[in-house]
Chains A and B, each alone.
Chain A
Amino acid sequence: MGLKLQQSQHQHQQQHHSVAVKVNEQTGTKRGYTFIQANRAWLPKFLLLWVMVMAFLSTWIYKKMDADIKVRRKEVLSSMCDERARMLQDQFSVSVNHVHALAILISTFHYYKNPSAIDQETFAEYTARTAFERPLLSGVAYAERVVHSERGQFERQHGWTIKTMQREPSPVRDEYAPVILSQETVSYIESLDMMSGEEDRENILRARATGKAVLTSPFRLLGSHHLGVVLTFPVYKSKLPTRPTVEERIEATAGYLGGAFDVESLVENLLGQLAGKQAILVNVYDITNSSDYLIMYGHQNQDGDLALLYESKLDFGDPFRKHTMICRYQQKAPTPWTALTTAFLFFVICLLVGYILYGAAIHIVKVEDDFHEMQELKVRAEAADVAKSQFLATVSHEIRTPMNGILGMLALLLDTDLSSTQRDYAQTAQVCGKALIALINEVLDRAKIEAGKLEMETVPFDLRSILDDVLSLFSEKSRNKGVELAVFVSDKVPEMVMGDPGRFRQIITNLVGNSVKFTERGHIFVKVHLAENTKPVVDAKVETCLNGGSDGGVPISDAHQFKTLSGYEAADERNSWDSFKHLVSYEESRYDASINMTVPGETSQSVTLMVSVEDTGIGIPLIAQDRVFMPFMQADSSTSRNYGGTGIGLSITKCLVELMGGHISFVSRPQVGSTFTFTADFGRCKKASFNDTKKSNTEDLPSSFRGLKAIVVDRKPVRAAVTRYHLKRLGILPEVSGSVMISASACGKNGSSCGSKIQPDIILVEKDLWLSGEDGGLSSRMLDWKQNGHTFKLPKMILLATNITNVELEKAKAAGFVDTVIMKPMRASMVAACLQQVLGIGNKKQVGKDAQNGSLRSLLCGKKILVVDDNMVNRRVAAGALKKFGAAVECAESGKVALKLLQIPHSFDACFMDIQMPEMDGFEATRQIRMMESQANEQMNGGGIDKGFARNGEWHVPILAMTADVIHATYDECLKCGMDGYVSKPFEEENLYQAVTKFFKV
């Protein structure tokens, strides 16, 4: 244990390091943040940036859309404006053409014809009838050019004087242009001198100079308040040369045709014909004087969209005058709702998306943070757990050492002369100390299991002897309580299995200890069998008796009893006789048929055992059953008060069972009892190692009883089976009988040579059967036989009892009924001891030993043996043992000395060599000895002795290794370096005998 502790400490440190490393690793992975996590501080900034970008984007979208709309608006305006301008221009030029035509008409018919073909009447009618051709002209009139010299003549001719525009007789001028012909609509201007008006005069002068239609600047027309312009056309009285000069033109001028354009109504009409006249405002300007625009149409101060203007050029055919049309929308540009809405919606959506992303990122960050925190906490918790286990292990170990000291000193103290009070104190202290040590060991185990440091050994061990040991541990307690304690191991379970005997013992001890603690009556029964044997038994009722109904004749008086070990009800029916007997009977048949029969599965490497521990104790409360295996949990708090204990045992047991590759379960009924069942995997022993190790690990069961016959008188079949099991282990052939009478009569018959199938040497009777008094006259009969000194050998009567009072014992002995009492729990070794005592073959073992001794003696007697060991004590012990068998022993304390002694020739018959020695170890020494020998042999052979002549002639001293550990590797090593075998240290006769017989033939 100490060894493991030390290891575990060592591992603890490693574990500590590994934990630290793990922490580092985990923090390392934690640093592997996601992108989001890495930029967590930037998240709000990202959001802000996003919002800003989106705001910018939506503004841009808005502007773009707005600009589009404006452009379209402008385009619409320009196209509308151009359209209007063109139409106006067209209409205007049509009218001008007509006036032109009229001028030609006048020149043709008024001047070329003589007399004139046109008078006022004709002109008025013609113009009235062709007025539709000139829709823009309110009227036309013709004014003749009259120079001052001709004024008188002219006035006389026409009968009126030339008047000015103000309708006054015209003052004297160079030239006059009185209207002579006029359309009816403008007849009021007849006789008015056109040259008296400033505008008209300029017009006239310009017209006759250019020969083209000229326009006045706009002015208020006479007779209407509309703005208008006057168109003047020169009429020439003679044909002009192709390229006339201005003088020629003036000279040729006969008069002037004029017409007034009512621009205002003109444009009004025109616009009225077009769609969308409401939408735009049209202004027409005379821009001849670029600094002073003269309005021709439209209001100067109009409402409307002043922001957007479109200007279209108008060409009315007068190169001197320039006109323009300016259009604008009547209404201001409407708010661009579409653009606004689109941009706004876009912004809102982006904002939402941004916020959602932000929220998600924040959430991710939070979750990751939490996760990392949890991870860290987990690591810390685990570290704390490891630290706890470590602490427990260390502290337990540290406590154990001084505790051992205390216990040792107490033990020493108890050996001294003490008063009874002092002794009592010391003993109490010792008991407490032991309990403490036990507790510490449990805690240590628990800690080790938790730390995963508990390693299972794999060594061969005898399961049965371990069970016996455990039982003997509790025998005292159970006996005091009157609880029957029994163990049964199925014959199919191999004698030796590979596993961890210490841990197996611990499990059994825990379970049995628990059972003993909680059981006040009835029994505790440990049963071991192969796991595959536990098939449910269906036809349990078919078989009613054991061994062909040997108990058939006995009336079962206590029928109410359960068929369990003690007759008390057990929690798990599987252990009751009904199923148990199948196991037994199966083995029986197998046992009888052939011991060497190969059992299926024997070839497999592992064997699964099922162990059940059944008690008839207080059971486990139903509520507590699900936390039975949890550490530090007892059924309820009162349990620890009543029964003590920490409740750690079962949890350790469970861990151990699981480490053994099995599992544990239990069935428990309150006030009835509990049955714990567990399985565990063990390895099968190889035959080779089996023989080597068998004897070293187990206590020998004497073989002197082999072949004896016994009758077990017991009416409880389970208990009888247990007894049978123990007897069988001793090689005794048991029979089970239900009553003393039958068995006794069997003896009797035998005595009269009736030839019953058995002649019992021993009769084992259960105490309760004996007490039931059914033996009646039997005892006296037996006594009778004894006293009469029958010739045949009387069977020995043995009483089996769990507890027996002195009175009862005396009574039994006095009655001569029994020869001895075997106290339960039964153990093979104890039974053997009792039987030895009773049968008087107690010395038989000695005899057997002597026989072996004898053979050893005969083998070793007179032989000269060299014992090589550096250890004084070992040397002395080995020498003593060998001397005892008559050997002459010489000792050597080192390999070198041995080499010297074994220089050829020598007289030694054998050499026992320790392996581990300073300077030269056993292996090396052996190698050198063998080298020496082979050299000597070669020389001999060289000396002419035939090789096959005699083996005796060759030097080869048998060398046996002495070693404390019997590992196979060591054995191989031994053979490799030339040794002939090995014996375990300290010597065991059997082992020694086996090793020695190989060389010393008798």
Chain B
Amino acid sequence: MDRNRLQHQAASMRRSLFDQGYLDEPFIQLEELQDDASPNFVQEIVTLFYTDSARLIQNIEHALNSRPIDFDKLDDYMHQFKGSSSSIGAKMVTNECTVFREYCSAENAEGCIRSFQQVKQDYAILRRKLEVYLQMVRQAAVSQKA
């Protein structure tokens, strides 16, 4: 029963992640790629995403603080960040990244900064949610094994 509850909880959590627009299709594909051969594929990718994005966010922050702002560089970073996010299906983050790049191409520093705040916020929320979710999944899996 406990297992069921955990599974149910995880499922509803996942559902809400999709419903609220944090995640989209690519995440499902990631999950599909996870099989016995690579049981922790999603976890692995997500962790990779964390590291990568942490680096990128730092880079972007740095670039934003430097004067004059090198928009090309920003755009490059953001492109990478967007690529990563879209790969794991972080829909909301990806969208905000697009906005950021628009500001970037318009060389609108203020817009960039504002948008970047949003990116960070979205990213933080997603990260926290994903962590909770993956935790649940892991627990469910453990309890299943047990």
Q: Is the CB of B84 within 8 A of A872?
A: yes
Whether B6 is near chain A, meaning CB under 8 Å from some CB there, is: no
The smallest beta-carbon distance between A468 and chain B, in angstroms, is 16
**Complex Cα gap A512–B91 (Å):** 26
Whether A21 is near chain B, meaning CB under 8 Å from some CB there, is: no
Looking at B33, B38, B111, the one whose CB has the most chain A CB atoms below 10 A away is B33
Whether B48 is near chain A, meaning CB under 8 Å from some CB there, is: yes
Given the known inter-chain contacts A3-B102, A986-B86, please indicate yes or no for A412 contacting B128, CB distance below 8 A.
yes
**Complex Cα gap A871–B26 (Å):** 16
**Complex Cα gap A3–B37 (Å):** 40
Whether A272 is near chain B, meaning CB under 8 Å from some CB there, is: no
Given the known inter-chain contacts A401-B114, A873-B88, A986-B86, please indicate yes or no for A3 contacting B99, CB distance below 8 A.
yes
**Complex Cα gap A6–B41 (Å):** 37
Q: Is the CB of B118 within 8 A of A873?
A: no
The smallest beta-carbon distance between A215 and chain B, in angstroms, is 128
* Nearest neighbor of B79 in chain A, beta-carbon distance: A916
Whether B108 is near chain A, meaning CB under 8 Å from some CB there, is: yes
**Complex Cα gap A667–B44 (Å):** 57
Residues of B within 8 A of A (CB): 13, 20, 25-26, 29-30, 33, 35, 37-38, 41, 44-45, 48-49, 51-52, 76, 79-80, 83-84, 86-89, 95-96, 98-99, 102-103, 106, 108, 111, 114-115, 117-118, 121-122, 125, 128-129, 132
Q: Is the CB of A985 within 8 A of B87?
A: yes
The smallest beta-carbon distance between B8 and chain A, in angstroms, is 15
Interface-facing stretch out of A544-552, A875-883, A993-1001: A875-883
Q: Is the CB of B87 within 8 A of A986?
A: yes
Give chain A interface residues in 968-1002, CB to chain B under 8 Å: 985-988
**Complex Cα gap A412–B126 (Å):** 9
Whether A7 is near chain B, meaning CB under 8 Å from some CB there, is: yes
Q: Is the CB of A873 within 8 A of B96?
A: no
Whether A405 is near chain B, meaning CB under 8 Å from some CB there, is: yes
**Nearest 10 A-B pairs (CB), nearest first?**
A2-B99, A873-B84, A871-B83, A986-B26, A408-B125, A872-B52, A874-B87, A3-B102, A877-B87, A6-B102
Would you list 10 pairs from A and B whose C-beta atoms are within 8 A, ordered by A residue? A6-B103, A6-B115, A401-B118, A404-B121, A408-B121, A870-B80, A873-B52, A883-B38, A964-B86, A986-B25
The smallest beta-carbon distance between B90 and chain A, in angstroms, is 10
* Nearest neighbor of B132 in chain A, beta-carbon distance: A415
Chain B residues near A883: list those with CB within 8 A. 37-38
Q: Is the CB of B132 within 8 A of A874?
A: no
Looking at B41, B48, B83, B89, the one whose CB has the most chain A CB atoms below 10 A away is B83
Give chain A interface residues in 392-419, CB to chain B under 8 Å: 401, 404-405, 408-409, 411-412, 415
Q: How large is the interface on A (under 10, 10 to 19, 20 to 34, 35 or more residues)?
A: 35 or more
Chain A residues near B115: list those with CB within 8 A. 2, 6
Q: Is the CB of A881 within 8 A of B84?
A: no
The smallest beta-carbon distance between A882 and chain B, in angstroms, is 10
Extra contacts besides A872-B52, A884-B38 (7): CB < 8 Å: A6-B99, A6-B103, A415-B129, A415-B132, A877-B88, A883-B37, A985-B87
Whether A854 is near chain B, meaning CB under 8 Å from some CB there, is: no
Q: Is the CB of A884 within 8 A of B49?
A: no
Given the known inter-chain contacts A6-B99, A987-B29, A988-B29, please indicate yes or no for A877 contacting B45, CB distance below 8 A.
yes
* Nearest neighbor of B99 in chain A, beta-carbon distance: A2
Whether A918 is near chain B, meaning CB under 8 Å from some CB there, is: yes
Chain A residues near B111: list those with CB within 8 A. 6, 9
Contact bitstring A879-891, B, C-beta under 8 A = 1, else 0: 0110110000000
Whether A10 is near chain B, meaning CB under 8 Å from some CB there, is: yes
The smallest beta-carbon distance between B78 and chain A, in angstroms, is 11
* Nearest neighbor of B30 in chain A, beta-carbon distance: A877
Given the known inter-chain contacts A408-B122, A873-B49, A874-B87, please indicate yes or no for A884 contacting B95, CB distance below 8 A.
no
Given the known inter-chain contacts A404-B118, A877-B88, please indicate yes or no for A872 contacting B48, CB distance below 8 A.
yes
**Complex Cα gap A968–B35 (Å):** 35
Chain A binding surface, main DSSP class: helix
Chain A residues near B20: list those with CB within 8 A. 411
Q: Is the CB of B48 within 8 A of A876?
A: yes
Given the known inter-chain contacts A7-B102, A401-B114, A405-B121, please indicate yes or no for A873 contacting B87, CB distance below 8 A.
yes
Chain A residues near B108: list those with CB within 8 A. 6, 10
Chain A residues near B84: list those with CB within 8 A. 871-874
The smallest beta-carbon distance between B128 and chain A, in angstroms, is 6
Q: Is the CB of A985 within 8 A of B80?
A: no
**Complex Cα gap A721–B118 (Å):** 47
Given the known inter-chain contacts A7-B102, A412-B129, A872-B48, please indicate yes or no for A2 contacting B30, CB distance below 8 A.
no
Q: Is the CB of A871 within 8 A of B87?
A: yes
* Nearest neighbor of B133 in chain A, beta-carbon distance: A415
Chain A residues near B30: list those with CB within 8 A. 877, 880
**Complex Cα gap A7–B106 (Å):** 9
**Complex Cα gap A881–B48 (Å):** 15
**Complex Cα gap A405–B45 (Å):** 26
Chain B residues near A408: list those with CB within 8 A. 121-122, 125
Looking at A6, A9, A409, A916, the one whose CB has the most chain B CB atoms below 10 A away is A6
Chain B residues near A872: list those with CB within 8 A. 48, 51-52, 84
The smallest beta-carbon distance between A991 and chain B, in angstroms, is 11
Given the known inter-chain contacts A411-B125, A872-B52, A874-B84, please indicate yes or no for A10 contacting B106, CB distance below 8 A.
yes
Q: Is the CB of B29 within 8 A of A985?
A: no
**Complex Cα gap A985–B26 (Å):** 9
**Complex Cα gap A408–B52 (Å):** 23
**Complex Cα gap A985–B89 (Å):** 11
Chain A residues near B129: list those with CB within 8 A. 411-412, 415
The smallest beta-carbon distance between B109 and chain A, in angstroms, is 13
Given the known inter-chain contacts A412-B125, A874-B84, A874-B87, please indicate yes or no for A918 contacting B76, CB distance below 8 A.
yes
Q: Is the CB of A873 within 8 A of B121?
A: no
Q: Is the CB of B80 within 8 A of A871?
A: yes
Chain B residues near A914: list those with CB within 8 A. 83
* Nearest neighbor of A7 in chain B, beta-carbon distance: B102
**Complex Cα gap A884–B45 (Å):** 15
Contact bitstring A22-40, B, C-beta under 8 A = 1, else 0: 0000000000000000000
Chain A residues near B51: list those with CB within 8 A. 872
Chain B residues near A871: list those with CB within 8 A. 52, 80, 83-84, 87
The smallest beta-carbon distance between A565 and chain B, in angstroms, is 28
Chain B residues near A2: list those with CB within 8 A. 95-96, 98-99, 102, 115, 118
Q: Is the CB of B38 within 8 A of A880?
A: yes
**Complex Cα gap A988–B83 (Å):** 16
**Complex Cα gap A205–B38 (Å):** 180
**Complex Cα gap A401–B120 (Å):** 12
**Complex Cα gap A408–B17 (Å):** 11
Q: Is the CB of B33 within 8 A of A880?
A: yes
Give chain A interface residues in 809-835, CB to chain B under 8 Å: none
Chain B residues near A404: list those with CB within 8 A. 118, 121-122
